[in-house]
């Protein structure tokens, strides 16, 4: 029994399931294809700000995005995958791409991507901000023709914020984990 306990403890020490820096969670995701650096939202705790570092290559790019949970159950919610959502963040309006939509807990999680960035530059940019505030404005079924919905039509909560304290250190640790193969 004592040998089994020692084996289990040693196995847990060598098992890399992630760790945290402040409120930031750093862990491998998607069958170890990415290192995810993420934090819970301040308004809706299940909404996470997610920074994904690919494990393929030099670990020098990060995908910036977040999830929004909605209980609205709009009839077209599952059809917005690949569509654009106009958001307001850090004083600017930008288009985010809907990566995926999936049912959960009587509603839907909508995962948005803001694009890829150089990890070092993005970490420096983010560290100069105390908080990330995001407001969803419009959901487009056809952005070119400006056809779609107001965000309130599809989302019951259209605002969330995330604390960016320690974001630089968390991203640099995520990059280090990526370079080390986790």
The model's pTM is 0.84
For the record, the structure tokens of 140 come out as 């487009």
Range of the structural domain that residue 59 is part of: 21-179
With respect to residue 46, please indicate whether it lies within any of the assigned structural domains. yes
pLDDT at 10 over 50: no
With respect to residue 8, please indicate whether it lies within any of the assigned structural domains. no
pLDDT, average across residues 19-33: 87
- At a CB cut-off of 8 Å and minimum separation 6, what does 39 contact? 23, 24, 25, 48, 49, 162, 163, 167
CATH number of the CATH domain containing 104: 2.60.40
What values do phi and psi take at 10, rounded to 5? -65, -40
Quote the pLDDT of residue 146: 81
**Sign of dihedral through CA atoms 60, 42, 19, 69?**
negative
- How many domains does one find in the chain? 1
Crossing angle between the packed helical segments 119-127 and 167-179, to the nearest 10 degrees: 160
With respect to residue 1, please indicate whether it lies within any of the assigned structural domains. no
DSSP structural state of residue 1 = -
Mean pLDDT of the chain: 88
With respect to residue 116, please indicate whether it lies within any of the assigned structural domains. yes
Quote the pLDDT of residue 154: 95
């Amino acid at each position: 029994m004592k040998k089994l306990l020692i084996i289990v403890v040693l196995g847990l020490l060598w098992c890399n399931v992630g760790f945290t820096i402040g409120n930031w969670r750093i862990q491998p995701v998607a069958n170890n294809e990415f290192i995810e650096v993420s934090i819970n939202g301040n308004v809706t705790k299940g909404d996470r700000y997610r920074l994904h570092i690919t494990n393929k290559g030099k670990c020098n790019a990060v995908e910036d995005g977040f999830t929004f949970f909605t209980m609205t159950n709009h009839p077209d919610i599952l059809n917005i995958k690949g569509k654009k959502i106009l958001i307001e963040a850090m004083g600017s309006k930008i288009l985010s791409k809907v990566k995926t939509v999936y049912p959960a807990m009587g509603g839907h999680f909508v995962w948005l991507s803001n694009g890829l960035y150089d990890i070092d530059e993005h970490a420096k940019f983010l560290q100069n901000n105390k908080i990330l505030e995001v407001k969803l404005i419009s959901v487009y079924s056809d952005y070119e023709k400006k056809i779609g919905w107001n965000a309130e039509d599809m989302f019951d909560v259209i605002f969330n914020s995330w604390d960016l304290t320690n974001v630089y250190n968390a991203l640099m640790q995520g990059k280090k984990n990526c370079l080390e193969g986790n």
